[in-house]
Structure 1
Amino acid sequence: MTQNEHPIHHLDDAMCWSMLQANSLGRLAVSADGDVDIFPINYFADGSTLLFRTAPGTKLASLTANSHVAFEIDGSTGVEAWSVVVKGTARVLTDPADVRDADAAPLNPWAPTEKKHYVRIIPTAVTGRFFDRVDV
């Protein structure tokens, strides 16, 4: 094994959004009442925000109580691994025009439950990195 002088490479904004747009499953971290939860969600990235659907429950209640969220996707191949993290504010869409726009997005729930609530994450920070795996 040779040590790379710069083993972790940071992704620029364009590459982060490209990876977000190329994927549709990630993890949403929410915090409420001193507790933190992480939920798998399918999502749609439009290039500047993330959109997902949810049903009433812990996730919706948590992000309504504290709109600051984090979202992460990651992946690996046989030789490298990567991750993209989005931090931002989650907003439940209630305006009929916003809901109509969300209905037009290519976003369908994966779970067989009814998810009537659209949530948009407006990023305050988007970061990403990749590195060559040393276990190969």
Structure 2
Amino acid sequence: MAADDPVTVLSEDESWSLLGSASLGRFVIVTDGRAEIFPVNFVTQRRTLLFRTAPGTKLYRAIMSDQVAFEADGYTDVEGWSVIVHGRAHLLTATAEVLDAEEAPLRSWPATVKPHYVRLIAMEVSGRRFRFGPEPRQ
């Protein structure tokens, strides 16, 4: 892409780096043709995404879905970025998995009990960086 192009496709490494700098994203599940979107705070851990949740719709649909998606973004005064991850969600149940997840700097934001860890295993990662500026003349 040209240096003055306002949209840049990010490499997988750049995408993971930006995901590592974020803490809020949107977890997406499609059920019966309808997208369900859940905001979650998360961390990255060895090129996976990790979040906590309570029993309920989000947890049930996460582990029952063949594929899920996740999106996070960020911005400054001059640019923004967006990264999308497609993959599978895995409920951590084995003691070693849970202990590993507990080493991550992940804390629940709201004052609620969220005893379950979910790890999103990425199958595809794509990202874009957007340089802000005036709309070009036609």
Q: Shared fold by TM > 0.5?
A: yes
Helix, strand or coil at the partner of 1:110: coil
Output the CA distance in 2 between the equivalents of 1:43 and 1:62.
18
Output the CA distance in 1 between the equivalents of 2:66 and 2:104.
22
Output the CA distance in 1 between the equivalents of 2:85 and 2:13.
13
**Equivalent residue number for residue 99 of structure 2:** 100
Any stretches of 5+ residues in structure 2 without a counterpart? none
Helix, strand or coil at the partner of 2:133: coil
TM-score calculated relative to the size of structure 1: 0.89
How far the C-alpha of 1:77 sits from its partner, in A, is 2.0
Q: Work out whether residues 32 and 63 of structure 1, in 8 Å CA contact, stay in contact via their aligned partners in 2.
A: no
How far the C-alpha of 1:98 sits from its partner, in A, is 0.5
Output the CA distance in 2 between the equivalents of 1:113 and 1:6.
44
Q: Work out whether residues 16 and 126 of structure 1, in 8 Å CA contact, stay in contact via their aligned partners in 2.
A: yes
2:123 is equivalent to residue 124 of structure 1 = yes
Output the CA distance in 1 between the equivalents of 2:108 and 2:134.
36
Output the CA distance in 2 between the equivalents of 1:46 and 1:104.
10
Give aligned-pair identity as a percent: 47
Cα deviations by residue, 1:52-109 (Å, 9 ceiling, x for unpaired): 1000111111112214111111122222221011111000011111011111211110
Please provide the CA RMSD for this pair. 1.7
Cα deviations by residue, 1:19-60 (Å, 9 ceiling, x for unpaired): 111111111101223332111101110241111100011111
Specify the code of the residue in structure 2 equivalent to 1:28.
Answer: F
**Equivalent residue number for residue 30 of structure 1:** 29
Specify the code of the residue in structure 2 equivalent to 1:69.
Answer: V
Any stretches of 5+ residues in structure 1 without a counterpart? none
